[in-house]
Structure 1
């Protein structure tokens, strides 16, 4: 090895085997691309999930709402008016925006400030509607920058200054308020004054909000949309009144100081979701805590008002995001660990294949005095010339394919792939040729005895796998971040199974070879003998296949379980395929009209009464249903109920004892004796005959189901609609009403799955499983390719002895089947065992549902999916059989002369 080389080693080797170099470059390129894209993909869906969670939450929850009492009566009127002037209010607002700590930042386009009343002001104008003879009441506010957030429908925006002594002021109302309360431009609304005559508010314009669901309008939604409220009290039949909003010009704020509305200064800051970053999540939580009760609040009180209070539920929104993310992260990490393991095995196998093909060359170098360090160095340099550019290109493609996310983890992943690709060949060559040896030594798997080092390594992995499984079953994956050992538990189970199966592999070969030797045909015995002569390195492809099959089974079961959980959650959210709900009785002809809509297979009317008082003074929901149509509609769902359970006995309503089905908590309180209730102004007597966890009529709360025939009030307030392909648009048109809402089960299911956390994690999991399957197929191909020259030569020799093409094809297929069946059966069993062992610690609610609103325990437990277990295993057998058949066909086409050339190393 000393002396100057005639030709550079690396250039010579690359020119000699360009195909092998190109194949290695392609393998490294794809592996580096996948490895670098994985962490960037996780960053992307976590950032998108955080932004969507905050954006989808009610603005009243996410906004930072600061409020302080109006200037006190100890000051003069002019001083009080100056403190609520537009300039003073803006200065205080600007200081609040500045004092909010980073990384939290306000979205100024949806933030607002001003003066508003906290006690509703009554107006008794005769043209205002009175649903139950009560005049409407108003909240009056002076929101900032109103002109930028509205479109003028009629009239003009309010303007002009008004103070405590002014007789009137100008106001505007939204189009929804004007329509509901019958207010037109030019109308005058009088509200009470404080120690002065009533204040006349002249409506100068009607406006339409530009973004009605955004933070500017939705923090205090009554300014946008009127509400039908009940007067305070405990009586469930309290009278109702309309509550609306009036919008004054900021210069008219002093006029509110002379009303009994208890005005207060306010500033509402909508969070800027565009800058939210999941990697700065701890900083975001700290910033919210500082605003709620920390140094930031102290600074705000100094600049805004010493009595400033703050309200926000942004911390709870962050907590809900963290709960879902922390339940998803360990599950996704399982796929990452599995695919990374298979990728590493494939890279090692590629290096092993290259070393095996060059065994004679490397043995000759060792025999001529080459040191291991010199040989390994040259092989490493030879690999690096191909691997490093390919890994760099893979990193570039990953950055282009996933443009968002951190570069550091992606760079580290690509570097790891490059390092493994560079070291696989030289390390394998050094281990194989650490002593000078012949190039033709046999490594018979049947005769090869495991070394003490191998036994210790297997026992170490066994301890790690048992520890990971025990920790996962005991602690679960909810409530914490990903644990590497726990996430790698399915992979470790696959590793142990691979090592155990390799140890057990010789036994069935010995058992099967004895009777096969007595058969007339030699094909069976020869195939078993060939399978037993496989290299002891066969543990590596078996490890790749078992790990990939375990990960695929685990991942397929996870995705199938998530789909099942979404189906159940959607059913529990709507009760049936579609439903129409209303606070008031629905039109009598609506059931017939809905039944005629395309895709509807059945309609069941329901009368629902809320807040029905029980004997213990608690309240619940009572639903009257038609037993026959209700049973038919729910017969094929998890909420089915036989019609005879609810059928009312003959008799006038209120006299007979009605059988009832109740939720468990209600059934426990009522017992089995007859109980009198008052429902919708009618007395009835019920007896609980059965308990159900959920019902289609009232799917999300405690309930009592009775026969509508026994109720005094029979007009339906809801319709349960059956049909998997209901035309939602037509249903909404038929049920079009100001008080009716329509919800489809399919829409509810999409709501559970539309979070970027769920969809992003699902895509990454699916991509990881697919990549692992592809790499496992490549591992199987590499293992077959390693022995392909020897098998081709064997077929050529046997053909000279009379072996037919059919027998040759059968020989290669039977030779490949033992290892393929071993991997398939072992992979299916390992996948099933991993799911059975780890299922108690895996919570699929985070991956399945885009909400944590109480619908998580709807059957989101991990269960083995038969398709995910059997399909990948069957593909392994088919792939191995197909590869053997293809080789037999190709060898037959080439002929025997090419394979029997003298001097070829086989």
Structure 2
């Protein structure tokens, strides 16, 4: 066989097959790289956003006596080298940064305060590079003094600048610590953090800020501050008589983390904790980290993203392969005549099949290699599917060409009857198809009933059910499609016009083999509609979540009261349309210890401000709206600025911008004797920095910024962009499938139309006949695909939790937006109509005599 000659003769078909292969390989290799790259970026961003105290590995041990005390830096260094040596290999790339060590006391009371004030002692191994001394001097070696007949240590310490006024301390002051085992601290220096935003400070926030804690059963908050001492202070610091702990922090570098490594990282952290525990010589060593929980939360969100990606990318791959198979079938049909002659002249079956396979390989192999190579321009790791996807495309295309040609040319001078009605399916086949449909429906019901598997990871059941539903829809369409058409045929047969009868009859008598190419539309439309519906559901829920987080177009909140002058300046600011005043705080419910969060606001004004927003509150003129935890109390009393009796006027599950769970209530702002406004709800187009300038002590947020923060999450943007790309690709493949199905049946259709034209069929009638033959199947398939795409989100709802991409709100109510499905259906119908008119125009150029001679020969 002259492969090159055949390739030149069918260059157009070869080019179409190459372009389809290139696009399919690029999508199947590029999209997984992009999605996995976004998963990695999402993991790194999540770890960066978490405090270092949660992500880092902290080895800690308590000292209970002099035998367990560490008195010099060298002892800390020795143990740090040990921790790094026993770090599992999976964690070492993430813990290469320089860590730090510390020694701290906790709950060290100031003598004579009865537990009303605590001043703790601490040593940081890297204090010299983390603090600047802005007053006094750096601490030196400890001294001793006599107190109540005992010699006690006197530690020189430094204290953070802001703690002096808050704690009532001063530079040069000496403070006695302890209630029985005494020690003294002399404040010799005042420090300030060189970089307060350094992640390492999350381990030592007690050095930078006064910590207020409320002891159990106490009414007032107690202040705690931790001071800083020198290396020499370790020589006198002992765990005997006070709470002393040592820490070694191994910082985690999120830049080295990858989403594929998450399961191994969790196992490595557990192994590290186990090995550290084995090093115990006195008090046990522990590993403190929230890294497993962070990784678990990420895996939960990632699992959902992967499920959605598997569904849409799997559908894209299946549809792409189907369209490529259609193009191979078109090439095989064009090769049918020369291969038949070659077979009749003595060509062997392997030669004939090999020729078709070689031509297919000549078209798809270079295109697949090019698509595979271009995919490496997409940032992201190379997953197995990146290599296997293009190879699968090549194998399917070449294999189908060889198998189809071999089956068609099993015997020389093969022939077939085109006027034989389709055989009835066997009872075994019908039973099998009914079983598939029943299993698909049962699987969808069970998925909704049981939800996801609790074992974690991907639930195979979730991936099988959509495939089963698609196959079931295809089988039902194949079997049921002819029956309504036959009814239309009977109606058309009563009329005098022949074109409707002939067109619908040919459509109803189409064999399964001619219907299968068009059924590629079903998964294409089903998956694209599913992707569009899910994407729209995510977008809608994201907007709702942003309003739920902020509660107004713009919200200004402060811990203390906002001055009236600042409120007036905000009202006069250009662009401000409405300002609603509110006061938030914690109130006493009844006369016991029960407390609840409360907001006092003019609900009527707030409702006007939320007009048109996806969140709302019921009206309230008096009384209170309460949370479900406070329901059923009737009239109750609260203590805020004064004692107020309130009647329950309604129950609300959440208050937009403020409360989503727990005990809370909404009251009219008029119940306050003098409202201490600490919250402003603003409508209008106002620059946020300008508001922050007018109210310096407040935090300014907006609904638009909250929405951007939700949408900019890497996982969220990846899911939405992938859904958009897949929707566009599937729409293109659906249109290509229609075109290819028209071209594949063009020769047979042209022969039938030409014969009918010899009997007096006009050109316009020929066009209508072709449209009636093609359009019903396309419309039926489009409607079934539309229904499948709309059913899939509801069927998979319990198994696909998309709340991670919608501000933690569940995405469950998918709106029925028929714009995209209608556009796809209209586009497919338009392509079918254009194909029908093009087919008629081409058929008009044929010589009817030539057609008759060909028909006579057959």
**Bucket of the pairwise TM-score, normalised by the shorter protein:** 0.7 to 0.9
Distance (Å, rounded) in 1 between the aligned partners of 2:448 and 2:665: 38
Partner residue of 2:362 out of 379, 385, 391:
385
Q: 1:818 to 1:368 in 2, by over 3 A?
A: same
- Does residue 666 (structure 1) correspond to residue 630 (structure 2)? The answer is yes
String of CA shifts for 1:12-43, please: whole Å, max 9, x gaps.
32233233223222222221222223443443
* CA-CA distance at 1:843 after TM superposition: 2.5
Alignment correspondent of 1:606: 582
Q: 1:462 to 1:552 in 2, by over 3 A?
A: same
Partner residue of 2:822 out of 861, 865, 870:
870
Distance (Å, rounded) in 2 between the aligned partners of 1:821 and 1:729: 55
Alignment correspondent of 1:843: 801
* CA-CA distance at 1:110 after TM superposition: 6.1
String of CA shifts for 1:850-902, please: whole Å, max 9, x gaps.
xxxxx444x5455654345434333322332344345556777xx55699689
Distance (Å, rounded) in 1 between the aligned partners of 2:568 and 2:762: 75
Partner residue of 2:30 out of 37, 42, 55:
37
Mapped contact 1:606–1:624 kept (Cα < 8 A) = yes
Mapped contact 2:754–2:851 kept (Cα < 8 A) = no
String of CA shifts for 1:701-738, please: whole Å, max 9, x gaps.
33122222122341212222335x5532223223221x
What SS does the aligned partner of 2:188 have? Answer: strand
Q: 1:612 to 1:533 in 2, by over 3 A?
A: same
Alignment correspondent of 2:322: 345
- Does residue 694 (structure 1) correspond to residue 680 (structure 2)? The answer is no
What SS does the aligned partner of 1:192 have? Answer: strand
What SS does the aligned partner of 1:583 have? Answer: coil
- Does residue 469 (structure 1) correspond to residue 444 (structure 2)? The answer is yes
* CA-CA distance at 1:660 after TM superposition: 1.4
Distance (Å, rounded) in 2 between the aligned partners of 1:572 and 1:297: 45
Partner residue of 1:212 out of 168, 182, 197:
197
Q: Where in structure 2 are the equivalents of 1:503-518 lying within 5 Å?
A: 503-516=479-492
String of CA shifts for 1:385-414, please: whole Å, max 9, x gaps.
3333332222222222244233x3321222
Distance (Å, rounded) in 1 between the aligned partners of 2:442 and 2:379: 36
* CA-CA distance at 1:478 after TM superposition: 6.6
Q: Where in structure 2 are the equivalents of 1:521-560 lying within 5 Å?
A: 522-532=498-508, 534=510, 536-560=512-536
Q: 1:204 to 1:229 in 2, by over 3 A?
A: closer
String of CA shifts for 1:672-707, please: whole Å, max 9, x gaps.
2x2222223x11111112111112363323312222
Mapped contact 2:83–2:276 kept (Cα < 8 A) = no
Distance (Å, rounded) in 2 between the aligned partners of 1:260 and 1:800: 113
TM-score, normalised with respect to structure 2: 0.88
Q: 1:205 to 1:324 in 2, by over 3 A?
A: closer
* CA-CA distance at 1:342 after TM superposition: 1.0
Alignment correspondent of 1:325: 302
Distance (Å, rounded) in 2 between the aligned partners of 1:189 and 1:319: 48
Distance (Å, rounded) in 2 between the aligned partners of 1:120 and 1:636: 55
Alignment correspondent of 1:314: 291
- Does residue 295 (structure 1) correspond to residue 259 (structure 2)? The answer is no
Mapped contact 2:28–2:386 kept (Cα < 8 A) = yes
Mapped contact 2:102–2:122 kept (Cα < 8 A) = yes
Give the paired residue count: 844
Q: 1:16 to 1:872 in 2, by over 3 A?
A: closer
- Does residue 146 (structure 1) correspond to residue 150 (structure 2)? The answer is no
Q: 1:221 to 1:860 in 2, by over 3 A?
A: farther
* CA-CA distance at 1:290 after TM superposition: 2.7
Distance (Å, rounded) in 2 between the aligned partners of 1:676 and 1:559: 47
What SS does the aligned partner of 1:199 have? Answer: strand
* CA-CA distance at 1:806 after TM superposition: 5.3
Distance (Å, rounded) in 2 between the aligned partners of 1:574 and 1:311: 34
- Does residue 202 (structure 1) correspond to residue 185 (structure 2)? The answer is no
Alignment correspondent of 1:714: 675
Q: 1:153 to 1:617 in 2, by over 3 A?
A: closer
- Does residue 253 (structure 1) correspond to residue 238 (structure 2)? The answer is no
Partner residue of 1:760 out of 697, 710, 718:
718
What SS does the aligned partner of 1:101 have? Answer: coil
Alignment correspondent of 2:149: none
What CA RMSD, in Å, does the superposition of the two structures yield over aligned residues?
Answer: 3.8
Mapped contact 2:65–2:240 kept (Cα < 8 A) = no
* CA-CA distance at 1:437 after TM superposition: 5.8
What SS does the aligned partner of 1:579 have? Answer: strand
String of CA shifts for 1:218-252, please: whole Å, max 9, x gaps.
1222323x24625524455x2564x4454444344
String of CA shifts for 1:24-75, please: whole Å, max 9, x gaps.
2222222122222344344323333333332222222222222223473469
Alignment correspondent of 2:372: 395
Alignment correspondent of 1:277: 258
Mapped contact 1:476–1:843 kept (Cα < 8 A) = no
Alignment correspondent of 1:633: 609
Alignment correspondent of 2:549: 573
- Does residue 421 (structure 1) correspond to residue 400 (structure 2)? The answer is no
Mapped contact 1:546–1:823 kept (Cα < 8 A) = yes
* CA-CA distance at 1:587 after TM superposition: 1.4
What SS does the aligned partner of 2:564 have? Answer: coil
Q: 1:123 to 1:368 in 2, by over 3 A?
A: farther
Partner residue of 2:562 out of 575, 586, 593:
586
Mapped contact 1:177–1:183 kept (Cα < 8 A) = yes
Mapped contact 2:142–2:156 kept (Cα < 8 A) = yes
Q: 1:836 to 1:173 in 2, by over 3 A?
A: closer
Mapped contact 1:163–1:252 kept (Cα < 8 A) = no
Alignment correspondent of 1:92: 79
Distance (Å, rounded) in 1 between the aligned partners of 2:28 and 2:410: 32
Mapped contact 1:59–1:218 kept (Cα < 8 A) = yes
Which consecutive unaligned segments of at least 5 residues does structure 2 have?
Answer: 146-152
* CA-CA distance at 1:832 after TM superposition: 2.9
Distance (Å, rounded) in 2 between the aligned partners of 1:452 and 1:13: 44
Q: Where in structure 2 are the equivalents of 1:444-459 lying within 5 Å?
A: 447=422, 449-450=424-425, 455=430, 458-459=433-434
Q: 1:822 to 1:482 in 2, by over 3 A?
A: same
Distance (Å, rounded) in 1 between the aligned partners of 2:840 and 2:572: 63
Q: Where in structure 2 are the equivalents of 1:767-778 lying within 5 Å?
A: 767-778=725-736
String of CA shifts for 1:632-689, please: whole Å, max 9, x gaps.
223434543354xx324xxxxxxxxxx2111111013x2x2x2222223x11111112
